[in-house]
Amino acid sequence: MNEAVIFEGFSYAYPKTEPVLNEIEFAVPRGSFTVITGPSGAGKSTICRAMAGIVPNYYGGRSAGRVLVDGEDTAGQRIADLTRFVGLVLDDYESQLVSLTVEEEVLFGLYNRGLAPAEALPAMRKALNEVGLTGKEKLRLDELSGGQRQRLAIASVLAYKPDVLVLDEAASALDPEGAESLYRMLDELRRDYNLTVIVVEHELTYVLPYATQMLVLVD
Ligand code: ADP
């Protein structure tokens, strides 16, 4: 299976709303850096949610067609099981942070998944190293810059070793230098671990140099 994610004629409507996605059809090659762009309200966040299985499994509503992740239909799968394949970093990633210190933040999710310290501690150190936060383990979250907190949110997701990392408008709160450095880091992760990176962006300047394919939602 050379595709990490496949949308097969996927349509979706939130409960009590008009359809948001109409027969969406695309494939994301494994190891690609895929940029999804388009106007506000086009359904980009909804596509991210569908890849993580929270649409429709958590939101409810009506869907047709299929979303395959690593060859498996997301329909009916538990969201917690899907996080092994797809890690989602939200645009308000600050709301994803729940702990007092950097190391607690990454360990929180790993312990929640039932990992013993012997597995969780090395996974935490590796994830922090991947995002350049080694040495910051004991810092409180309020001692980090905005860009560092975002890297921490990414590390917390990477710690589960997903095959696919999805970031929804991840650079919106960053200055140009922060955005450039975020995308450079994601591209390095992609190359080093054959990670599939999918980013939703409307400001394309900083991400385009790294994109291997682009999906444009027109309507
Ligand atoms: P984008 O990310 O491209 O801005 P979204 O996927 O956020 O687009 O939204 C697509 C459409 O779905 C919009 O019309 C939005 O109002 C609607 N929508 C988004 N989330 C919900 C929700 N939880 N319930 C109902 N409608 C929603």
CA 122 / ligand 1 centre spacing (Å): 38
Tell me if 40 CB under 6 Å of ligand 1: yes
All residues at 6 or more sequence positions from 52 whose CB lies less than 8 Å from its CB, including other chains: 79, 82, 83, 86, 88, 166
All residues at 6 or more sequence positions from 41 whose CB lies less than 8 Å from its CB, including other chains: none
Looking at ligand 1, which atom is closest to the CA of residue 169? 2
Q: What is the mean pLDDT of the chain?
A: 92
Tell me if 43 CB under 6 Å of ligand 1: yes
CA 75 / ligand 1 centre spacing (Å): 20
Q: What is the mean pLDDT of residues 193-197?
A: 93
Tell me if 178 CB under 6 Å of ligand 1: no
Looking at ligand 1, which atom is closest to the CA of residue 59? 23
What is the number of other CB atoms lying within 10 angstroms of the CB of residue 176? 11
Distance of CA 3 to the CA centre of its chain: 17
Q: What is the mean pLDDT of residues 150-160?
A: 92
Nearest CA to ligand 1 atom 15: 41
Q: What is the mean pLDDT of residues 72-86?
A: 86
What is the predicted pLDDT for the residue at 146?
87
All residues at 6 or more sequence positions from 18 whose CB lies less than 8 Å from its CB, including other chains: none
Question: Which pTM does this prediction carry?
Answer: 0.92
